[in-house]
């Protein structure tokens, strides 16, 4: 294949600026990338042109002397200028390409090559059981959370005290393995050392060489008043510590609320059944009931109250998690029918029935 002029390859004028060259390369390399249907040949050509035209010194040499210094032979056949490995142009710089491509090519070899040292700690989740009243009042409590912490024996290095990690023999300490060759070389993290460039010959016995140990650690969490069953609270920065200066993860606390003898929750509303006798329902009465906030509330049961009648006592429910104030206390009247009448009571009821002489089923005949 006849070597084309680098400016022609990138489709830019000879006086094009650095930005213009970068843009042209970005556009064309997306178009011709092997992962998106382009040919490797074309992609190599683009890279070669870009490697030269994007480096001011190399570009100046190219402008002055042309493609091969002295004009003889293809790259690699002795025409290399001093300091240019392999007689051609340096292998693709993955760091640079990685920046250029961003996440456009997820399968592109450069992605894993760079090690990001700082790492955010993991998020942790903990399930916390609370009494009904605790959930209403809020509580400050300690939860034992299993966190991975720096090993005290090896100070996090992972090597047995008195020994130290050595340079990885597989990658020569660089952390990367080169695959392919020449201009189309890719590098990937070294599988032996995981990209760190160091291997531990005598691992620390306390952490088995991991540099970290799992430890139960009490963490104080302030549970706000009004949490609900299954609610999830986030405590920022209380998860696992980050690595190499990275931020700590978050701690999520899922609240489980134990059953109360007579209250149930519906968000910020509290529900309860209130048993009333036949007579109370028929004649009406006033009943003092305990509210969830510890106060007593007087509730008027009207004359002729039906079973299931709902009474709403405003602002006597659970504290609202969002906003202020409290939900309502919803009281449902439950008319109870006696099951243990003696002979005299039965006789009284029969007399009562005959004095009524009513027909409650007139409409369904």
- Contacts with Zn ion by CB under 5 A lie at 151, 153-154, 168, 170-171, 190, 192-193, 204, 206-207
d(CA 22, CA 299): 78
| Helical H segments across 11-141, by residue range | 18-32, 40-53, 56-65, 94-101, 132-137
d(CA 237, CA 120): 10
Contacts of 268 (CB under 8 A, 6+ apart): 226, 317, 318, 319, 320, 321, 326, 327, 328
CB nearer to Zn ion: pick between 153 and 228: 153
The distance of closest approach from Cβ of residue 112 to Zn ion in the complex, given in angstroms and rounded to an integer, is 13
Please answer whether residues 87 and 80 qualify as being in contact, where contact means their C-beta atoms are separated by less than 8 angstroms: yes
The distance of closest approach from Cβ of residue 212 to Zn ion in the complex, given in angstroms and rounded to an integer, is 8
The distance of closest approach from Cβ of residue 211 to Zn ion in the complex, given in angstroms and rounded to an integer, is 6
* Length of the chain, in residues: 365
Tokens of 89: 């142009």
The distance of closest approach from Cβ of residue 259 to Zn ion in the complex, given in angstroms and rounded to an integer, is 45
The distance of closest approach from Cβ of residue 144 to Zn ion in the complex, given in angstroms and rounded to an integer, is 22
d(CA 265, CA 263): 7
CB nearer to Zn ion: pick between 53 and 213: 213
Q: φ, ψ for residue 362 (rounded to 5)?
A: -55, -35
d(CA 67, CA 212): 54
Tokens of 147: 């966190």
- Strand, coil or helix: 47: helix
CB nearer to Zn ion: pick between 61 and 202: 202
The distance of closest approach from Cβ of residue 155 to Zn ion in the complex, given in angstroms and rounded to an integer, is 8
The distance of closest approach from Cβ of residue 206 to Zn ion in the complex, given in angstroms and rounded to an integer, is 4
Please answer whether residues 301 and 286 qualify as being in contact, where contact means their C-beta atoms are separated by less than 8 angstroms: yes
- Strand, coil or helix: 263: coil
The distance of closest approach from Cβ of residue 91 to Zn ion in the complex, given in angstroms and rounded to an integer, is 19
The distance of closest approach from Cβ of residue 168 to Zn ion in the complex, given in angstroms and rounded to an integer, is 3
Q: How far is CA 191 from CA 94, 194, 199, in A?
A: 18, 5, 11
Q: How far is CA 165 from CA 26, 52, 119, 152, 352, in A?
A: 41, 39, 21, 17, 96
- Strand, coil or helix: 274: strand
């Amino acid at each position: 294949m006849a070597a084309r002029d680098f400016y022609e390859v990138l489709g830019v004028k000879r006086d094009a600026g650095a930005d213009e060259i970068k843009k042209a390369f970005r556009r064309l390399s997306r178009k011709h990338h092997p992962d998106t249907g382009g040919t490797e040949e074309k992609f190599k050509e683009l890279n070669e042109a870009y490697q030269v035209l994007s480096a001011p010194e190399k570009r100046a040499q190219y402008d002055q002397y042309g493609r091969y210094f002295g004009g003889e032979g293809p790259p690699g056949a002795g025409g290399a200028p001093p300091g240019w490995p392999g007689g051609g142009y340096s292998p693709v710089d993955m760091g640079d390409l990685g920046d250029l491509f961003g996440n456009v090519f997820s399968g592109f070899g450069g992605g894993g090559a760079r090690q990001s040292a700082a790492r955010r700690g993991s998020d942790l989740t903990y399930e916390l059981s609370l009494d009904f009243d605790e959930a209403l009042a809020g509580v400050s409590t300690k939860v034992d959370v299993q966190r991975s912490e720096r090993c005290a024996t090896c100070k996090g290095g992972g090597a047995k005290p008195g020994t130290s990690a050595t340079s990885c023999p597989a990658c020569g300490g660089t952390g990367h393995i080169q695959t392919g060759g020449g201009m189309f070389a890719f590098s990937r993290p070294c599988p032996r050392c995981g990209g760190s460039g160091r291997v531990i010959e005598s691992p620390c016995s306390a952490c088995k060489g991991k540099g970290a140990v799992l430890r139960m650690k009490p963490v104080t969490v302030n549970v706000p008043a009004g949490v609900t069953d299954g609610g999830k609270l986030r405590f920022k920065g209380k998860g696992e510590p980050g690595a190499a200066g990275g931020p700590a993860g978050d701690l999520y606390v899922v609240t489980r609320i134990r059953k109360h003898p007579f209250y149930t929750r519906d968000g910020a509303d509290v529900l309860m059944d209130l048993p009333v006798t036949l007579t109370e329902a028929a004649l009406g009465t006033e009943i003092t009931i305990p509210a969830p906030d510890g106060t007593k509330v007087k509730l008027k049961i009207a004359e002729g109250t039906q079973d299931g009648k709902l009474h709403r006592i405003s602002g006597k429910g659970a504290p609202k998690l969002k906003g202020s104030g409290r939900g309502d206390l919803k009281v449902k009247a439950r008319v109870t029918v006696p099951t243990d009448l003696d002979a005299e009571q039965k006789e009284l009821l029969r007399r009562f029935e005959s004095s009524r002489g009513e027909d409650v089923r007139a409409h369904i005949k």
